[in-house]
């Protein structure tokens, strides 16, 4: 065999490793989740009990699915006006200027802050501030966690929509200006419609990130194993329940946590695939 062939085989082999890792992940999660699904059936997904008492163990994932969806949707809604403004600042209003460079770097830096540092800041700075505004439960709960999550996804949402906004051809914008439109009219009638699907894809991907965030949420959501009954009530997300129940888990409880991990894996997988699919179609 000549060296070229061996090289090609090595290249192919390394890509097998990736496929093997991904396949192994699905296999291990499914295998680990089987005891939970055997005991509780499909009802595991729709049950809202979480009872670890020996002998009457009963676990359901609904409170955490609900908590995850509520916090992530709220985070998305909070981040939307902020990241959209920042992307207009970078991609349209101050495009190519020094100011845009500074703002862009700062937004990038937001992505570099570790989740646990966001959690600390949320706990020691944001939470007391919100308590001062009259937030119940010492400031723990869905709302506080969502604000921190919103800040965490801002850099992703901003850079993705900024990229798409920059791609809108200049000649389209000039055509609108030549008809007398003001800058904001150009933005809302030309730029946003042309960039719409790309911007939506960016927000879908950011939403996918919010779904899986763990530490900051764990430190702020209040860790109550119930379905949150409002923005200011406490709760738990799929990621946060794994983080704070894992230490004492074995047997059925461990299997239930792995099952929650499997569900989280599937949900984020679908969301990410959807976002990437839209972006791929655009290119």
Partner 1 sequence: MNDNIKQIKDPVLSIRNLSVSYDKGKYAVKDVSVDIKRNSVTAIMGPSGCGKSTLLRAINRMHELYENIETTGTLILNGKDIKNMPTIQLRRMAGMVFQRPNPFPTMSIYDNVIAGYKLNGISLKRSEKDEIVERSLRDVTLWDEVKDTLYKKGTFLSGGQQQRLCIARALAFDPEVILLDEPTSALDPIATAKIEDLLVTLKENYTIILVTHNMSQAARISDYSLFMYLGELVEYGKTNDMFTKPRDRRTEEYLTGKFG
Partner 2 sequence: MKYQHKQIAKSKLKSRALKDKAIRVLVVLLSVVTISPIVLIIFKLIEKGYKQISLDFILKTPPNSYEAMTALANGELIPGGIANGITGTLLMMVVAAVMAIPVGVVTGIYLYENPGKFMANLTRNISDILQGVPSIVLGLIAYIWVVKGITNGYSALAGSVSLAIMMLPMIVRSTEETLKMIPVTIKEAALALGVPYYKVILKVLIPTGFSGLLTGILLGISRVLGETAPLMLTALGSTIINLNITKPTSAVPLLIWEFYNDPNMVGLIWSSSLLLMAIVLSLNLISKQIAARTK
Query: Which residues sit at the interface with partner 1, rule CB under 8 A?
Result: 97, 169, 171-172, 174-182, 185-186, 189-190, 193-194, 196
CB of 132 to partner 1, least distance (A): 43
Structure tokens at 6: 């061996």
The torsion angles phi and psi of 141, rounded to 5 degrees, stand at 140, -175
Question: Nearer to partner 1 by C-beta: 114 or 169?
Answer: 169
Question: Nearer to partner 2 by C-beta: 53 or 110?
Answer: 110
The entry of partner 1, partner 2, none near residue 175 (CB within 5 to 8 angstroms by kind) is partner 1
Indicate if the alpha-carbon torsion angle 238, 244, 245, 246 is positive or negative: positive
CB 218 within 8 A of CB 229: no
Name, in order, each residue with C-beta under 8 angstroms of 164's C-beta and a sequence gap of 6 or more.
Answer: 195, 198, 199, 202, 282
Name, in order, each residue with C-beta under 8 angstroms of 173's C-beta and a sequence gap of 6 or more.
Answer: 186, 190, 191
Question: Nearer to partner 2 by C-beta: 21 or 230?
Answer: 21
The entry of partner 1, partner 2, none near residue 54 (CB within 5 to 8 angstroms by kind) is none
The entry of partner 1, partner 2, none near residue 193 (CB within 5 to 8 angstroms by kind) is partner 1
CB of 192 to partner 1, least distance (A): 9
Nearest Cα neighbor of 268 from 224, 191, 214 is 214
The entry of partner 2, partner 1, none near residue 273 (CB within 5 to 8 angstroms by kind) is partner 2
CB of 106 to partner 2, least distance (A): 4
The entry of partner 1, partner 2, none near residue 80 (CB within 5 to 8 angstroms by kind) is none
Nearest Cα neighbor of 165 from 189, 186, 195 is 195
Question: Nearer to partner 2 by C-beta: 142 or 210?
Answer: 210
CB of 78 to partner 2, least distance (A): 11
Question: Nearer to partner 1 by C-beta: 31 or 95?
Answer: 95
CB 166 within 8 A of CB 95: yes
List Cα–Cα distances, 163 to 86, 142, 160, 183, in angstroms: 12, 31, 5, 19
Residue 1's SS3 state is coil
The entry of partner 2, partner 1, none near residue 231 (CB within 5 to 8 angstroms by kind) is none
CB of 64 to partner 2, least distance (A): 12
CB of 283 to partner 1, least distance (A): 16
């Amino acid at each position: 065999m000549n060296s070229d062939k061996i090289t090609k085989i090595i290249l192919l082999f390394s890509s097998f490793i990736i496929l093997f890792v991904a396949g192994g992940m699905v296999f291990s999660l499914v295998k680990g989740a089987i005891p939970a699904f055997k005991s509780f059936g499909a009802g595991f997904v729709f049950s809202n009990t979480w009872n670890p008492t020996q002998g009457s163990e009963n676990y359901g994932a609904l409170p955490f699915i609900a908590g995850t969806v509520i916090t992530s949707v709220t985070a998305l809604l909070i981040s939307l006006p902020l990241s959209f403004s920042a992307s207009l600042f970078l991609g349209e209003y101050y495009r190519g200027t020094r100011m845009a460079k500074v703002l862009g770097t700062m937004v990038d830096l937001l992505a570099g802050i570790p989740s646990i540092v966001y959690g600390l800041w949320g706990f020691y700075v944001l939470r007391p501030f919100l308590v001062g505004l009259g937030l119940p439960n010492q400031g723990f709960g869905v709302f506080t966690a969502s604000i921190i999550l919103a800040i965490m996804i801002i850099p992703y949402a901003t850079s993705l929509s900024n990229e798409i906004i920059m791609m809108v051809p200049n000649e389209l914008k000039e055509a609108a200006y030549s008809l007398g439109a003001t800058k904001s009219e150009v933005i809302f009638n030309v730029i946003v419609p042309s960039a719409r699907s790309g911007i939506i894809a960016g927000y879908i991907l950011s939403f996918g990130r919010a779904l899986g965030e763990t530490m900051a949420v764990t430190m702020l959501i209040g860790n109550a194993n119930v379905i949150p009954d409002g923005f200011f009530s406490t709760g738990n997300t799929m990621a946060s329940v794994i983080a704070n129940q894992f230490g004492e888990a074995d047997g059925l409880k461990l299997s239930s946590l792995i099952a929650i991990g499997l569900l989280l894996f599937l949900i984020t997988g679908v969301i990410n695939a959807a976002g990437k699919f839209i972006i791929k179609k655009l290119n």
